Amino acid sequence: MKWASRRVDGTIGLSDRDTSPRGRIPAEPPAFLAIFDGMSQLRARFRSIDDNSIFHELEEVVYDHEGSLLEVHHDLAPLAERTPGDWKQLFGGRAGAMDLPDRSGVWGKKEWVLPQIPDDHIVSLAEGWNPLLPSPRTAARLGLADLRLKLCGTTHTGSFKDLGMTVLVSWVNHLRRTGAPIRAVACASTGDTSAALAAYAAAAGIPAIVFLPADKVSLAQLIQPVANGAHVLALDTDFDGCMKVVQELTQDKTIYLANSKNSLRVEGQKTVAIETVQQLRWTAPDWFVIPGGNLGNVSALAKGLDMMYDLGLLTGKRPRIAVAQAAAADPLVKSFEKGLAPLEPQTARTTLASAIRIGNPVSFPKAIEALKKYNGVAESVSEDRLSDAAAHGDLEGFYHCPHTGVALGALEQLVEKGVIEKGSRVVVVSTAHGLKFSEFKTGYHEGKLDGVQSRIANRVQRIAPTYAAVQDALKARLG
Ligand SMILES: Cc1ncc(COP(=O)(O)O)c(C=O)c1O
């Protein structure tokens, strides 16, 4: 079988997965790609989530319509001219691509993400194609048929934010290259968005401004945008306070908003659903469990699933979605407990899962839709539970961030409550790399985290440099 891949210059080549016995590149592209001729006509637009008749062109600098959030809308009719099999073949072919942008997990699905951008305006750092690793010991402990972790932190800046930022920064790059007067991109962040924005903006040569809540992000998260040359502004407030400031600043349309309120971000992030289903050989699990803060990511997960159902790549029973929040910042859980009641903003309290310390989530309306469509639930998790859950996963070879700990803690609780049934097949979306949260890891194992019992702490033993001391130490451990 020949695997087609489009190079950056637009020509078609075969990737190294070409098993042709002659091994030479044929003059003609593989026949199946002809099915996709005419796809260059595809064009996405912004659409109000509250009124399907309100559209804005992506060229407009606009983030809402009279207070209603926007989504990136794709006209499904031309996409549906291709069969589900055609799409699977195209996306499958690009999975083996060597060159960017096809090699990117996001841009390998360009027709569903941002079809009208020229390839040479794309700013990609090879995001996506994150591992979907089995977690058999945790699955056995919880009585699940299958548990996999979608490791979105195994990526350029160490979090899932790269998936959305490549789309947003690429589009800003395109706008600037076609004459738009955009001077800079700006975001408020709990640490990961700023790291992604700074890296992609630096790659594109676009100035970046980031607002961080002072002393509320990890050291690794703080130094990432510093290293990438962003203008880093630490404010004496929380994330919600930073969000207010950046929204005021970006009233000036020459400074482009890079938070997930800007639905271009969600377009890239939705590929996590498509990629996961593709890795499961185009099947869906029974449950997705995902940590939620500003709630862009759960909205994106649902949007990716929607598109696969709408275009027939998935049929039958829909997976359910569980959103996991830290008990210290759980406005969605509070709404869920009251039957999806309107948002009551909170002042988010301190949590080890600092990136989801958000009390007034911007994408709340989209998350409510996601929960309705996917028979979803929301679950809050204590500091103690999230810490142990992350540590249990680490003993299976992972290196979980505290937010993934929140998702794993919620999974445990939902299984205990019988909401997630034994024998289910579950995918947990792991949102960041544990290496960004060394303070959390060391604090846990040294037993120094407030309100955390560190039940399975693994203490470093300091011993005398003698064979006898080593023997004693090993005896205590190995018996
Ligand atoms: C590591 C991590 N996990 C989860 C989230 C939650 O994503 P969202 O804010 O889109 O709900 C964030 C970002 O806020 C994050 O940085």
- Cβ partners under 8 Å of residue 316, min gap 6: none
- Answer yes or no: is the C-beta of 190 below 6 A from any ligand 1 atom: yes
- Answer yes or no: is the C-beta of 195 below 6 A from any ligand 1 atom: no
Closest CA to 402 of 254, 229, 217, 255: 217
Segment (H or E) for 324: strand 320-326
- Answer yes or no: is the C-beta of 291 below 6 A from any ligand 1 atom: yes
Residue 290 alpha carbon, nearest atom of ligand 1 = 4
Ligand 1 pocket test: which of 356, 362, 399 has the largest number of ligand atoms within 8 Å of its C-beta?
356
Question: Rounded to an integer, what distance in angstroms lies between the CA atom of residue 188 and that of residue 349?
Answer: 18
**Coil, helix or strand for 326?**
strand
Distance 13 CA to ligand 1 centre (A): 37
Distance 216 CA to ligand 1 centre (A): 14
- Answer yes or no: is the C-beta of 296 below 6 A from any ligand 1 atom: yes
Closest CA to 332 of 297, 367, 301: 367
Contact (CB, 8 A) for 239 and 348: yes
Q: Map tokens 């998350």 to a residue.
A: 367
Question: Rounded to an integer, what distance in angstroms lies between the CA atom of residue 182 and that of residue 179?
Answer: 9
What is the fold of 132-153+266-445?
Answer: Rossmann fold (3.40.50)
What's the whole-model pTM score?
0.92
Distances (CA, A) of 369 to 160, 339, 344, 360, 398: 21, 13, 17, 17, 32
Residue 153 alpha carbon, nearest atom of ligand 1 = 1
Closest CA to 184 of 218, 217, 219, 229: 229
Distance 291 CA to ligand 1 centre (A): 7
Q: Which stretches of the chain drop beneath a pLDDT of 70?
A: 1-38, 40
Question: Rounded to an integer, what distance in angstroms lies between the CA atom of residue 149 and that of residue 152?
Answer: 9
Would you state the pLDDT for residue 21?
34
Backbone phi, psi, residue 389, to 5°: -65, -40
Q: What share of the chain is helix, strand, coil (3-state, %, to 5)?
A: 40, 15, 45
Would you state the pLDDT for residue 37?
67
Would you state the pLDDT for residue 28?
52
Distance 447 CA to ligand 1 centre (A): 26
Would you state the pLDDT for residue 479?
85
- Cα 269 → chain centroid: 5
Contact (CB, 8 A) for 244 and 46: no
Burial class (CB in 10 A: 0-12, 13-18, 19+), 53: exposed
Would you state the pLDDT for residue 326?
98
- Answer yes or no: is the C-beta of 355 below 6 A from any ligand 1 atom: yes
Distance 394 CA to ligand 1 centre (A): 20
Question: Rounded to an integer, what distance in angstroms lies between the CA atom of residue 467 and that of residue 463?
Answer: 10
Strands (E), 68-162: 68-73, 132-134, 146-151
Q: What is the largest CA-CA distance in the chain?
A: 78
Instruction: Supply the residue whose CA is at minimum distance from atom 9 of ligand 1.
Output: 294
Helix axes 271-279, 296-310, angle to 10 degrees: 60
Would you state the pLDDT for residue 16?
39
Closest CA to 342 of 317, 367, 322, 310: 367
- Answer yes or no: is the C-beta of 285 below 6 A from any ligand 1 atom: no
Ligand 1 pocket test: which of 157, 266, 406, 431 has the largest number of ligand atoms within 8 Å of its C-beta?
431
Two tokens, residue 266: 């969600």
Domain ranges of the chain: 132-153+266-445
Contact (CB, 8 A) for 301 and 321: yes
Two tokens, residue 319: 């997976």
Backbone phi, psi, residue 198, to 5°: -60, -40
Question: Rounded to an integer, what distance in angstroms lies between the CA atom of residue 260 and that of residue 355?
Answer: 14
Q: b or e along 386-406 (b: 16 or more beta carbons within 10 Å of the residue's beta carbon)? A: bbbbbbbbbebebbbbbbbbb
Contact (CB, 8 A) for 44 and 278: no
- Answer yes or no: is the C-beta of 292 below 6 A from any ligand 1 atom: yes
